[in-house]
């Protein structure tokens, strides 16, 4: 943290905030779940979650859940297991995970498993890969799925290992 102008970084992140409570990759850019994770986590690390419009952001993030139980990254897009991390970690950071259908998301992630090969795909029936396996398991962990170690929603590390630098 001593190598970063934290206040300037916070100002930049805050300038990327949108009317819908989300964040884009630059000022004026469309809100996207992956970028929201980056911005919200950066603000959490800097101890500046007070800048986040938590209810507005929580609403936008919870609206990413589709009838199939999965989450998408932005409106009108398809569900993808990776958003089980990107969306859910941000909801966890702002303490709004109870705004989504937990059981529906667990069922979606588990439907994306390939029980013969092992691993998790982006959607049911697609090819598994390491990327989606990681984020599917991390999402299940955030949901408190039995047998998984709890991960920190900002650092994606086991909770007992993580001590936040600021705040």
What is the pLDDT confidence band of residue 160, given thresholds at 50, 70 and 90? low
pLDDT at residue number 163: 52
Tell me which DSSP letter residue 50 carries: G
The pair of structure tokens assigned to 27 is 């000022």
Residue 86 backbone phi and psi in degrees, to 5 = -60, -45
pLDDT at residue number 156: 80
What is the overall mean pLDDT for the chain?
94
The model's pTM is 0.92
Task: Answer yes or no: are the C-beta atoms of 62 and 100 closer than 8 Å.
Answer: yes
Q: Is the dihedral of CA 96, 99, 104, 105 positive or negative?
A: negative
The pair of structure tokens assigned to 52 is 């986040």
Residue 76 gets the label, from left (phi > 0), alpha (psi -120 to 50) or beta, of left
CA distance 36 to 53: 12
Is 60 exceeded by the pLDDT of residue 80?
A: yes
The pair of structure tokens assigned to 49 is 């979650």
Average pLDDT, stretch 17-37? 97
Average pLDDT, stretch 142-152? 94
């Amino acid at each position: 943290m001593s190598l970063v102008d934290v206040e300037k970084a916070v100002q930049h992140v805050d300038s990327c905030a949108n009317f819908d409570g989300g964040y884009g990759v630059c000022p004026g850019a469309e809100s996207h779940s992956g970028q929201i994770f980056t911005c919200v986590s950066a603000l959490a690390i800097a101890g500046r979650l007070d800048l986040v419009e938590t209810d507005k952001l929580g609403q936008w993030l919870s609206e990413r859940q589709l009838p199939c139980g999965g989450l998408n990254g932005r409106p009108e897009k398809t569900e993808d297991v990776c958003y089980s991390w990107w969306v859910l970690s941000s909801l966890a950071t702002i303490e709004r995970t109870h705004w989504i259908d937990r059981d529906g998301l667990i069922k979606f992630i588990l439907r994306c498993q390939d029980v013969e090969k092992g691993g998790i795909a982006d959607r049911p029936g697609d090819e598994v890969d390491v990327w989606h396996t990681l984020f599917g398991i991390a999402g299940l962990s955030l949901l408190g799925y039995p047998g998984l170690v709890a991960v920190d929603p900002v650092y994606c590390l086991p909770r007992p290992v993580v001590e936040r630098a600021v705040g």
